[in-house]
Amino acid sequence: MNQRTQALQQIQSDTFDVLILGGGATGLGIAVDAVTRGYRTALVDAGDFAQATSSRATKLVHGGVRYLASGQISLVYEALHERAAMLRNAPHLVQPLPFVTPAYRWFDLPYYGAGLKLYDVLSGKATMGPTSIFGHDKTLTLLPNIARKNLKGSIVYYDGQFDDARFCLALARTAVDHGATVLNYVRCVSFEKASGKINGAVLRDEETGNSFQVNAKVVVNATGIFTDEVRHLDNPSDASLLNVSRGTHIVVPPTVLGRDYAIMVPKTEDGRVIFAIPWLGKVVIGTTDLAAPKPEVEPGHQDDEIDYILHHINPYLQHTITRADILSVFSGLRPLITGPGASTAKLSREHHIERSSSGLLTIAGGKWTTYRRMAQDLVDFAIKHEMLPAAACRTEKLPLRGAPLKAGDPHNALSRYGTDRAAVEALITTDASLGAKLDEALPFIEAEVVYAAREEMARTVEDVLSRRMRALLLDAKAAVRSAPKVAELLARELGHGTEWRFEQVAAFRELAARFYLPG
């Protein structure tokens, strides 16, 4: 019996304490929190894990330096505490990274230096490294491609970076390891109620179309940008809770930075911060913040967003970037709590928990870095309102699936598997052909596709190339070239035929066309 069949049987036969809708960072964090407290836990997502917002982050595990300027000290402090927990619990997926803030006026050195020293103070023992101020020459050794005209020096501080989609996958597998039932491609279509109170949901397997009922004491809506859609399944007259904003990033070759130091542009014309970050052998630059007309998994991007990013990063580069340098463009939507004012950039990044009259628990907003605290707060809320029996949270020092005793080499693509790396390498021992690269422009090998199908709940070519390995975000055209081989390997593992392979490759090509620029 395969993994998915077993999970489908289990979710239909058991009664759960907690049923979570949504397989992004927040929902998966709640699943880990709930199951490790001893609650019978199930989680479903209508698509793949981290398919929307949770795989489209700027790849930062951070307190949020820009929130210091607006006085959101408590938000920064909490996020810095959670940053430390993420590094401690998943060192194979989270690494410290030095950020260079270049200064082109003498005043900038003490001004930004003081703010970033406060960042150090708020970090306390959880610091990833001390903030330092360097002169002109040292700055050039850190970032050879930094713009040199009028360069006075730089401030270097430390934050974290991570692989967001694989962190979600580690959460999903951790939940399963502790006894949770976790399924992708299963949609909630309605709620079951008794005397006006929710006591379960009707779910649909998106692969077969089969629907079934699941019984649960507590149902949690953690569906991110689709929060209001699920709330309206419970009560169609509920006022909308969210404003949705789009953030777009570009991905360029590593020569843009030259070394493993990031750039932080401290203030754009519209008051934002721009980052250029080395990530998985490429450089991610972003992000924008524009109101989005509606929630959707693939929001696409606008040309003026690319212009915005180039306009704000190029003044800091000696050799500037053009559109021809862009390997991929990816966009994600942020679920922000509705507030006054027209600018989504100024809306709060704090999270919100509510309980409907029928008992549906909804959690929305927040930041990636605070996912664990959000999950703890949600379960504590359920306990406080006597929806669950009391039990202590165990996640602050809970190693996630694959967590090694010490971090591996971040430049080795297999290091992100942590202790599961041996299982991937064992596949090559059995079949040496699986050691072949999928594409010369990418670091990924065929064995990873087989492992994704067998152990990581991958169901489609997109699941593999976008989230199990990050090929689509790193180099969209190379990902397209890899699609036929991925489809072949997946079809063999999942028992599909030639027609499925062709359909999968065609669907992936159509999707990938939104990630690269014409030409």
Q: What pLDDT is attached to residue 342?
A: 44
pLDDT (tens digit, 9 = 90+) per residue, 331-389?
999 999 885 444 444 445 578 999 999 999 999 999 999 999 999 999 999 999 999 99
Q: What pLDDT is attached to residue 349?
A: 57
- The residues near 259 (Cβ < 8 Å, ≥ 6 apart) are 142, 143, 144, 278
Q: What pLDDT is attached to residue 67?
A: 78
Residues of the chain with pLDDT under 70: 1, 339-349, 408, 519
Instruction: Write the single-letter amino acid at 407.
Output: A
Q: What pLDDT is attached to residue 1?
A: 60
Do the Cβ atoms of 183 and 43 come closer than 8 Å? yes
The number of C-alpha atoms within 13 Å of 391 and in the hemisphere containing its C-beta is 17
pLDDT (tens digit, 9 = 90+) per residue, 150-184?
999 999 999 999 999 999 999 999 999 999 999 99
CATH topology (fold) of 3-53+166-240+347-384: FAD/NAD(P)-binding domain (3.50.50)
Task: Place domain 413-512 in its CATH homologous superfamily.
Answer: Alpha-glycerophosphate oxidase, cap domain (1.10.8.870)
The number of C-alpha atoms within 13 Å of 313 and in the hemisphere containing its C-beta is 31
Burial of 77 (0-12, 13-18, 19+ CB in 10 A): middle
CATH of domain 74-161+243-338: 3.30.9.10
Instruction: Write the single-letter amino acid at 314.
Output: N
**Tokens representing residue 414 in the block:** 């297999």
Q: What pLDDT is attached to residue 340?
A: 45
Q: What pLDDT is attached to residue 270?
A: 83
Q: What pLDDT is attached to residue 293?
A: 85
**3-class DSSP state of 198:** strand
The number of C-alpha atoms within 13 Å of 23 and in the hemisphere containing its C-beta is 30
Tokens 């960042």 belong to which residue? Answer: 119
Do the Cβ atoms of 370 and 74 come closer than 8 Å? no
Largest separation between any pair of C-alpha atoms in the chain: 72
Instruction: Write the single-letter amino acid at 115.
Output: G
Closest to 35 (Cα-Cα) out of 218, 295, 251, 265: 218
Tell me the domain boundaries of the chain. Answer: 3-53+166-240+347-384, 74-161+243-338, 413-512
Q: What pLDDT is attached to residue 286?
A: 94
- The residues near 383 (Cβ < 8 Å, ≥ 6 apart) are 389, 390, 391
